[in-house]
Chain A
Amino acid sequence: DQQVKQNSPSLSVQEGRISILNCDYTNSMFDYFLWYKKYPAEGPTFLISISSIKDKNEDGRFTVFLNKSAKHLSLHIVPSQPGDSAVYFCAAHDMRFGAGTRLTVKP
């Protein structure tokens, strides 16, 4: 029973363009979400979070949008850089993670 889903296993974008990573959840009780970034052979590192009282949170090139009615959130990276190439995980506050999306940013 996967309550946090990332349906795109991979995404490839050109350097300088926007990367949009999507995440869906099923439990309307979830009220806090986090995005983590993971490089090979390393543990995930926290990137950005959003509380359900907001619909947007921005930190530099990273913005997370939350659509509560659709139970959907997305992470926007603009402009994308080659160093952003990693696996991105969406997580709910109760420690449920999605399967991750591998982002490749091509120079």
Chain B
Amino acid sequence: EAGVTQFPSHSVIEKGQTVTLRCDPISGHDNLYWYRRVMGKEIKFLLHFVKESKQDESGMPNNRFLAERTGGTYSTLKVQPAELEDSGVYFCASSQVLGNEQFFGPGTRLTVL
């Protein structure tokens, strides 16, 4: 069974540009989560999808971040325009049951210059 995959693995962009991160969850997992880890700090929750619906987006830092999960399969996280403080590693995770163990992708390392 394939795990959670994320693309790209690394992205280096300039301030003001747009970047779109993609996450493919484990097939059949309705729950999909986005997290961000900045400079070795805690893994911070961004948002949670159940199928195509945003269940909880309380962790989204501001309206420069837009997440979508059309069709309830893969998800994208767009940052537009990117700022320096957006740099970090963005993790995606999925789970079958809410609150149970989550399966994480390898992360996308975003560097904004």
Binding site for B on A (CB under 8 A): 2, 4, 32, 34, 36, 41-46, 49, 89, 91, 93-100
Q: Given B4, B43, B103, which contacts A97 in the complex, CB threshold below 8 Å?
A: B43
Is B1 in the interface zone, CB < 8 Å from A? no
- The answer to whether A46 and B102 touch across the interface, beta carbons within 8 angstroms, is yes
Residue of B nearest to A98 (CB): B42
Chain B: number of interface residues, binned into ranges: 20 to 34
A64 CB, nearest partner CB in chain B, Å: 13
Chain A residues within 8 Å of B40, by CB: 99-100
Q: Given A2, A43, A93, which contacts B105 in the complex, CB threshold below 8 Å?
A: A43
Is B64 in the interface zone, CB < 8 Å from A? no
User: Bound complex: CA of A89 vs CA of B42, how far in Å?
Assistant: 8
Chain B residues within 8 Å of A41, by CB: 106-107
Chain A residues within 8 Å of B100, by CB: 49
Is B71 in the interface zone, CB < 8 Å from A? no
- The answer to whether A100 and B42 touch across the interface, beta carbons within 8 angstroms, is yes
Chain B residues within 8 Å of A36, by CB: 104
Is B45 in the interface zone, CB < 8 Å from A? yes
A42 CB, nearest partner CB in chain B, Å: 6
- The answer to whether A43 and B106 touch across the interface, beta carbons within 8 angstroms, is yes
Using known A-B contacts A45-B104, A46-B101, determine if residue A2 contacts B91 with beta carbons closer than 8 Å: no
Interface residue ranges of B62-113 to A (CB < 8 Å): 91, 93, 99-107
Using known A-B contacts A49-B101, A93-B99, determine if residue A44 contacts B42 with beta carbons closer than 8 Å: no
Using known A-B contacts A32-B99, A93-B99, A95-B33, determine if residue A44 contacts B45 with beta carbons closer than 8 Å: no
Given A2-B42, A42-B106, A43-B91, 8 more A-B residue pairs with CB atoms under 8 Å apart are A43-B4, A43-B104, A44-B104, A49-B101, A95-B48, A95-B102, A97-B43, A97-B45
- The answer to whether B91 and A44 touch across the interface, beta carbons within 8 angstroms, is yes
User: Bound complex: CA of A41 vs CA of B33, how far in Å?
Assistant: 19
- The answer to whether B45 and A43 touch across the interface, beta carbons within 8 angstroms, is no
User: Bound complex: CA of A91 vs CA of B35, how far in Å?
Assistant: 13
User: Bound complex: CA of A97 vs CA of B104, how far in Å?
Assistant: 13
